[in-house]
Amino acid sequence: MPQQHAVSPVDFELARQASGLTLGALFALSVRLGPGRIALQQGERQLSYAELDERSNRLCRYWMSRGIARGDRVAVLAENCMEYVEVLVAAAKLGVIAACQNWRLAERELYHCLSLVTPKLIHASARHADIAARYAGLAPGLSFGADYEAALAGQSAAAVPDACEPEDGVVILYTSGTTGMPKGALISQRAEIARAQNQMIDLPSTPDEHFVAWAPLFHMVSTDTVFMTLIQGAKVIVTDGFDAPALARIAVRERLARFTLMPGMITPFLDALRATGQPVAGMRWVGVMADLVPREQIAEVTRLVGAPYLNTFGSTETGLPPATRHTIAVGQVPASLNKVQSSFCRIKLVDADDREVADGEPGELAMRGPTLFSGYWNNPEANAEDFRGGWFHMGDVFVRNPDGTLSFVDRCKYLIKSGGENIYPAEIERVLLTEPRVADAVVIRRPDARWGEVPVAYVVRKDATLSGQALIELCRAHIAGYKLPKEVHFVQDDFLPRSTTGKIMRHELEKRMREGAA
């Protein structure tokens, strides 16, 4: 019989090292293969791959001069701009973690997000510099603009050694917490590379098809695709948020790969595109979150841009997986929005006791795969709960159909998705209940033609003089504007449907609202 050879632990370690891959190494390859290709563009300003490489090297060396090293956090508080992308690239090269702040948050929420990650430096745009200055006690700041340019000019453009490991974190993106405060999702270099690979396999494009980063760079929909685009050697076109006429002009001028359109943005974009009187230059994929878009509108937008609509189901924690492989054909009004499991991931549907359910039975989706994040920063309780049993439990209920597709049923933890933002009712209710004249309050979702879903509050008040506007202003002082209830309904306590344990049943209240009883 042939002799069996054991592999020693030393050999395993050498193999692990040899199999490692980093974002910095992949970006360096794009620079080598196309140094003169345009990597970044915003308006009339452009940076080639060689120029982006040099500027990000200078930023790395500035951080190093400040004692910022691998594993440290650098916060970013800025609208989308080219400097933001430079921070992401530099973080990937040096092993620093870019903590991407949501500038839409209320002050106490933003303070929580910053203090959670203990940054060594806060980068801010001029627009947000005054806000960043309020947190100088947490970390010093360096604003984009003259100070930033001077800092880069004072450093060498020589390459920095790539000492990163695949499991090193590269970004922290924040997700809404079920009890109100955001959680920081740590995403590693390994996960970002896997997310890029997943896009390249399930949503293929070429280096001549570019990406428009208009959605905030504190969201995975832009951040993940920026990394993928730079790995592929294509161009990232940065815009300062959603500007329908500007996006329409880009669409008729540039060949685009994946073009993000969220509920609330589709009609303005279509109107602006029609106003140009020109066809799009080329578009491979369009859309996101088909479940929240009127189906006739899906057919309309795909006809106008000549690209299929993405029937996505992913998350900050998972990337495009677990179920973003299906697309809706051009001009089609879909009969269903069943999902198709993404490549290179495993999923199972489980009951309340984490036992796998049979096909046709509803169960919470649990996932394994290389695109998964590394856990919530400094939140061991959430990590223990959501990674139980060695699977990431998403909190979303699906049914697996006989053909293998997945039908979305509901969210285990009630969640409102409004214009691409996640809103947990508990965070709004907690603010409402601080008002002494409120006896009880519940927030539910209401379908909305523009935003997909919006929050609506039902309040039992102790004092008839309390107004809905007063409660909205109370919320405005404590939470982000996009989380504000769009309506406040005052009701008697016995109007609220409750379970045998006294818990308000949101779905029953939704049903009453739909039937016009609320």
| pLDDT values of the chain reduced to their tens digit, one per residue, 518 residues | 455 556 566 678 888 888 899 999 999 999 999 999 999 999 999 999 999 999 999 999 999 999 999 999 999 999 999 999 999 999 999 999 999 999 999 898 999 999 999 999 999 999 999 999 999 999 999 999 999 999 999 999 999 999 999 999 999 999 976 556 899 999 999 999 999 999 999 999 999 999 999 999 999 999 999 999 999 999 999 999 999 999 999 999 999 999 999 877 899 999 999 999 999 999 999 998 888 788 889 999 999 999 999 999 999 999 999 999 999 999 999 988 999 999 999 999 998 889 999 999 889 999 999 999 999 999 999 999 999 999 999 999 899 999 999 998 877 777 888 988 888 787 788 889 889 898 888 999 999 988 999 999 999 999 999 999 999 999 999 889 999 999 999 999 889 987 655 668 888 898 888 887 55
Angle of helix 23-33 versus helix 189-202 axis, rounded to 10: 50
- Residue pair 341/406 in contact (Cβ under 8 Å)? The answer is yes
Residue listed under structure tokens 């990650």: 117
pTM: 0.86
> Looking at the DSSP assignment, which residues form a beta bridge with residue 175?
183
- Residue 474 burial (C-beta neighbours within 10 Å; 0-12, 13-18, 19+): middle
Residues contacting residue 458 through CB under 8 Å, at least 6 positions apart: 441, 442, 443, 444, 489, 491, 495, 496, 509, 518
- The residues of the chain that CATH labels 3.30.300.30 are 416-514
CB of 413 closer than 8 Å to CB of 178: yes
What pLDDT, on the 0 to 100 scale, is given for residue 272? Answer: 98
CA distance 510 to 90: 47
* Phi, psi angles (nearest 5°) of residue 171: -140, 155
DSSP for 262-311 reads -TTTHHHHHHHHHHHTS--S-EEEE-S-GGGS-HHHHHHHHHHHT-PEE-
Query: Rounded distance, CA 59 to CA 313, Å?
Result: 35
CATH 3.40.50.12780 residue ranges in the chain?
Answer: 20-241
CA dihedral in degrees (240, 245, 249, 252; nearest 10)? 120
Q: Could you tell me which of 398, 387, 331, 395 has the C-alpha nearest to residue 362?
A: 398
Q: Which CATH architecture has domain 416-514?
A: 2-Layer Sandwich (3.30)
Among residues 416, 415, 428, the alpha carbon closest in space to that of 459 is found at 428
DSSP bridge partners of 349: 365
| CA-based radius of gyration for the chain | 24
Beta strand segments in 323-451, E: 327-328, 346-350, 363-368, 375-376, 392-400, 406-411, 416-418, 421-423, 438-448
Given the DSSP bridges, would you call strands 363-368 and 392-400 parallel, antiparallel or unpaired? antiparallel
- 48: Cβ–Cβ under 8 A, 6 or more apart, which residues? 35, 36, 37, 38, 39
Q: Evaluate the omega torsion of the peptide bond into residue 322 and state whether it is cis, within 30 degrees of 0.
A: yes
Tokens 């947990």 sit on residue:
424
Answer whether CATH 3.30.1340.30 is correct for domain 20-241.
no
